[in-house]
């Protein structure tokens, strides 16, 4: 397992964005797995500026969404995706896990032929999407309770008096591991420790990102 270190955040994002562009240009029905959070914003910024790349045939599956939050709330992942990417390109269809598609989400992904490129960030506790420590390698898309660590990490995005979501819908590890290509991105020194533990340590439910050691086509990208 190799962690590729980049000198700049922008160069790291360029690598991911150019591979997404190639995939979207080459495949007749590309399927992208998309992440939110601060890490992939640079990738979306680059994609949003690609005026000669057309996403009309592209289907997307987002990894997660908070439970109990309005889709117009500025911290909802629907809002995030509109702001950073979806407002700039027309896609065939954008999916998010929600209360009504929860039990179908993994089948929906399979029925498209599977995710061609999956973007992932990593939480400081080793979570992938909202697959918190303790999540099984074979977990399905489901509702999860967020850990205190994640709630604290997220609290910076909410007004002090606002309730912070404590549950979320998340794609499970199983569909993530089925993606044909994965880019795991980590930006910042505060991610280095957990990234190294996940890539070089034991494969364990305590660090769901460690399951990626078993994936056949994952690139692990880091910059500080
Ligand atoms: P970040 O979050 O990109 O905002 O660091 C990543 C994650 O928690 O999965």
3-state secondary structure of 106: helix
pLDDT by residue (tens digit) across 21-76?
999 999 999 999 999 999 999 999 999 999 999 999 999 999 999 999 999 999 99
Q: Supply the pLDDT for residue 147.
A: 87
Using the atom order of ligand 1, give the atom closest to the CA of residue 129: 9
Atom 2 (ligand 1): residue with closest C-alpha?
37
Atom 7 (ligand 1): residue with closest C-alpha?
123
Give, in order, the Cα–Cα distances in Å from 49 to each of 6, 15, 86.
22, 15, 12
Q: Could you give the CA distance from residue 5 to residue 222 in angstroms, rounded to a whole number?
A: 5
The residue with greater pLDDT, 157 or 95, is: 95
- Could you tell me the two tokens for 119? 């973007």
Residue 207 has pLDDT above 90, yes or no: yes
Distance 130 CA to ligand 1 centre (A): 10
Distance 28 CA to ligand 1 centre (A): 31
Distance 101 CA to ligand 1 centre (A): 24
The arithmetic mean of pLDDT across residues 193-219, rounded, is: 98
Q: Round to the nearest angstrom and report the end-to-end CA distance of the chain.
A: 19
The arithmetic mean of pLDDT across residues 77-86, rounded, is: 98
- Check if the beta carbon of residue 207 is closer than 8 Å to that of residue 173: no
With a 6 Å cutoff on the Cβ, whether 94 touches ligand 1 is no
Residue 155 has pLDDT above 90, yes or no: no
């Amino acid at each position: 397992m190799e962690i590729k270190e980049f000198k700049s955040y922008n160069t790291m994002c360029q690598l991911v964005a150019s591979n997404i562009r190639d995939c979207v240009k080459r495949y007749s029905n590309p399927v992208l797995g998309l992440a939110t959070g601060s890490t992939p914003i640079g990738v979306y910024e680059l994609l949003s500026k690609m005026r000669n790349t057309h996403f009309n045939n592209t289907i997307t599956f987002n990894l997660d969404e908070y439970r109990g939050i309005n889709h117009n709330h500025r911290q909802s992942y629907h809002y995030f995706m509109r702001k950073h990417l979806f407002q700039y390109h027309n896609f065939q269809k954008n999916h998010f896990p929600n209360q009504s598609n929860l039990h179908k989400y993994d089948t929906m992904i399979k029925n498209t032929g599977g995710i061609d490129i999956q973007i992932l960030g990593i939480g400081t506790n080793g979570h992938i999407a909202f697959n918190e420590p303790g999540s099984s390698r074979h977990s399905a898309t489901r509702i999860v309770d967020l850990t205190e660590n994640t709630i604290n990490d997220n609290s910076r995005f909410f007004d002090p008096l606002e309730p912070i979501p404590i549950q979320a819908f998340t794609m499970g590890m199983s569909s993530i591991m089925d993606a044909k290509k994965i880019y795991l991105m980590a930006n910042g020194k505060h991610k280095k420790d957990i990234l190294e533990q996940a890539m070089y340590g034991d494969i364990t439910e305590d660090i769901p990102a460690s399951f990626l050691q078993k994936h056949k086509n994952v690139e692990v990208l880091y910059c500080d």
